Amino acid sequence: MAEDSDKPKQASLVLIGMGPNMLTSMTEEAIVAAKSADFRYYEAYTAMWPIEELERLESRVGPIKKVMRPEVEQPEEILNLAKENTVAVLVVGDPLQATTHVDLQLQAEENGIDCRIIHGISITNIVTGAIGLSNYKFGRQTTLTYPYSNWIATSPLEILAMNRIMGHHTLALLDLDPTGAGTGKQQPMRPKDAVISIGLMIEKLSSGIEDINDNDSLSKLKKQAINELVATKFADWNVVLCSDMGAEDQSIIYTNLADLADFPGGNMNCLVFPASTSDVEEKALLRWSREEG
Amino acid sequence: MAEDSDKPKQASLVLIGMGPNMLTSMTEEAIVAAKSADFRYYEAYTAMWPIEELERLESRVGPIKKVMRPEVEQPEEILNLAKENTVAVLVVGDPLQATTHVDLQLQAEENGIDCRIIHGISITNIVTGAIGLSNYKFGRQTTLTYPYSNWIATSPLEILAMNRIMGHHTLALLDLDPTGAGTGKQQPMRPKDAVISIGLMIEKLSSGIEDINDNDSLSKLKKQAINELVATKFADWNVVLCSDMGAEDQSIIYTNLADLADFPGGNMNCLVFPASTSDVEEKALLRWSREEG
């Protein structure tokens, strides 16, 4: 990647937020910084951009090298380069939403490398308002994962159960790595994958419910929340399927778990489970009602 | 505001996210849309930009009229204009974070007005990562308010107490309207105002704690959470003061409530109350340690 020889050389690492999925959703500051970097990396395992938009970005700012989890978690190459050059690491969404990137920032600082952050629009930021639910009524967010070799994490459902009993909405991001290793081909979860994972979680949670201790108020509430959740009719859970949010062809569908698997979804999907809704929220949600796929 | 006569006329309302506090943090899409609108409004009561940046924006996209709460909540003028013109309403942060703007969008749609959304970076989006705490470990967010004529809302402290007992971090935005009416001069809360409000909340909650019913698991946990919170030494609470996040001169200070009032803060401030932290989180937080103002 060519260097602008008029520019005074200032070695640094720049973590750049790319926003959710297109060039025009990047900030001016982000585009300028990406363009002026000597080397550009694109971190492609926590989230992905559509290929056409990536090409559009490259034609605007210069070539970008795609890296996966190992290059970011063992960042010797990146950090060594950043001692002598301006190195941009482009991250989908905001560059500090994932612990990995905070860790990269800390490692740069420990190595005496100047590290600059340029924020971007994150999916967790826009999805709440875009569907019309109040941001402040969301509880803790979670990520639904694929089952890895017959094992499934149940914590996402525990978070959902606790949010539900407290009347908070839940944003559930969807995994995009069926192997869990972060090295191979990304495969963003489709709605039907999410339904399968949720089914497995319910099964596992239901069978282990008696083992949850209830020695204190928090455990008691948690046990009750899980009991109530697994007692509901799974198929009837209301859910909002959000696909390719922020893109021209974003899609929002308000449905239930029984029908969710019939919708194909988009490139990147996430789910919102609404709890109790206000009048404005209810009216806002009904705009997205769909009975079937 | 002049109209570009070459452009085919398409009446619509466009809600545009301005991002936290500067022109270069707006997306390209947002700047283009603001520039091509026939009329531009700036909603100035839920959050504010520094005046220099507003002027910079005006010189780039054209003149912008400042409006307050009544013009947005009773939006006849805006909606009438949008029946014949492209009307941009510029909102600090993301345009759909506040219920008011979702409601404006719904009203436009009910009036048959095409309503387009252009997202922006929101403070709630960047603050978590910028200080180095994991986004997914945050519980429900809250807003600390001024006392209005001797009355103080205690719900922010109840949210903090519940997050704390569950091990979740809490983001607390700060009020900017001492009157609560949304019409007058905005005065973003300073750290010392927040300390006063928190003190009043603790006082009110402590005196009413016996009246909280504990008939069910949720109420029991809530009562315990509040009891534990008010029993702690107020002065020792760890807190992160985040000022003018996203701006060149953003400041992050990790301190405790005893010292918080001594820090002046910036134009716009918010607070984060960390719960239990991971190793990376702890290391990240310690970068911002400051003993006194």
Indicate the pLDDT class of residue B188, thresholds 50, 70 and 90: confident
pLDDT of the residue at A1: 44
The residue that leads in pLDDT, B208 or A201, is A201
Domain count for chain B: 2
Of the candidates B102, B121, B140, which is a domain's last residue? Answer: B121
pLDDT of the residue at A84: 96
Q: Is there a domain that residue A293 lies in?
A: no
pLDDT of the residue at B9: 55
Inspect the interface and report whether the beta carbons of A221 and B221 lie closer than 8 Å: yes
The distance from CA B283 to its chain's CA centroid, rounded to whole angstroms, is: 26
Same domain, B253 and B224: yes
Q: Which residues of B touch A134 (CB under 8 A)?
A: 99, 102
pLDDT of the residue at B125: 83
Q: Which residues of A touch B165 (CB under 8 A)?
A: 218
Same domain, A147 and A282: yes
CB distance from A28 to chain B under 8 Å?
A: yes
pLDDT of the residue at B175: 87
CATH number at residue B194: 3.30.950.10
Cα B170 to Cα A148: distance, rounded to the nearest angstrom: 32
pLDDT of the residue at A259: 95
Q: Is there a domain that residue B157 lies in?
A: yes
Q: For A190-244, how does the pLDDT look when each residue is reduced to its tens digit (9 = 90+)? A: 999 999 999 999 999 998 888 888 889 999 999 999 999 999 988 899 999 999 9
Q: Is there a domain that residue B252 lies in?
A: yes
Q: Is there a domain that residue A213 lies in?
A: yes
Q: Is there a domain that residue B82 lies in?
A: yes
Of the candidates B62, B97, B121, which is a domain's last residue? Answer: B121
CB distance from A23 to chain B under 8 Å?
A: yes
Inspect the interface and report whether the beta carbons of B128 and A97 lie closer than 8 Å: yes
The pLDDT > 70 percentage for chain B reads: 94
Q: For B262-279, how does the pLDDT look when each residue is reduced to its tens digit (9 = 90+)? A: 999 998 899 999 998 999
The pLDDT > 70 percentage for chain A reads: 94
Q: What is the mean pLDDT of residues A112-116?
A: 95
Q: Which of A275-284, B32-41, B176-185 has the highest mean pLDDT?
A: B32-41
Checking if the pLDDT of B148 tops 90, the result is: no
CB distance from A153 to chain B under 8 Å?
A: no
pLDDT of the residue at A178: 79
pLDDT of the residue at A31: 97
Same domain, B150 and B243: yes
Least trusted range by pLDDT, from A42-51, A72-81, B141-150: A42-51
The 3-class SS string of chain B reads CCCCCCCCCCCEEEEEECECCCHHHCEHHHHHHHHHCCEEEEECCCCCCCHHHHHHHHHHHCCCEEECHHHHHCCHHHHHHHCCCEEEEEECECCCCCHHHHHHHHHHHHCCCCEEEECCCCHHHHHHHHHCCCHHHECCCEEECCCECCECCCHHHHHHHHHHHHCCEEEEEECCCCCCCCCCCCCCCCHHHHHHHHHHHHHHHHHHHHHCCCCCHHHHHHHHHHHHHHHCCHHHCEEEEEECCCCCCCEEEEEEHHHHCCCCCCCCEEEEECCCCCHHHHHHHHCCECCCC
Q: Is there a domain that residue A2 lies in?
A: no
Checking if the pLDDT of A251 tops 50, the result is: yes
Q: Is there a domain that residue A161 lies in?
A: yes
Can you give the residue range of the structural domain that contains A101? 12-121
Indicate the pLDDT class of residue A293, thresholds 50, 70 and 90: very low
pLDDT of the residue at A41: 96
> How many cross-chain Cβ pairs, A to B, lie less than 8 Å apart?
159
Checking if the pLDDT of A276 tops 60, the result is: yes
Q: Which of A73-82, A204-213, B1-10, B64-73 has the highest mean pLDDT?
A: A73-82
Inspect the interface and report whether the beta carbons of B125 and A119 lie closer than 8 Å: yes
CB distance from A114 to chain B under 8 Å?
A: no
CB distance from B156 to chain A under 8 Å?
A: no
Q: What is the mean pLDDT of residues B221-241?
A: 93
CATH number at residue B80: 3.40.1010.10
Q: Which has the closest alpha carbon to A155: A138, A143, A173?
A: A143
CB distance from B276 to chain A under 8 Å?
A: no
Checking if the pLDDT of B4 tops 60, the result is: no
Of the candidates B91, B121, B151, which is a domain's last residue? Answer: B121
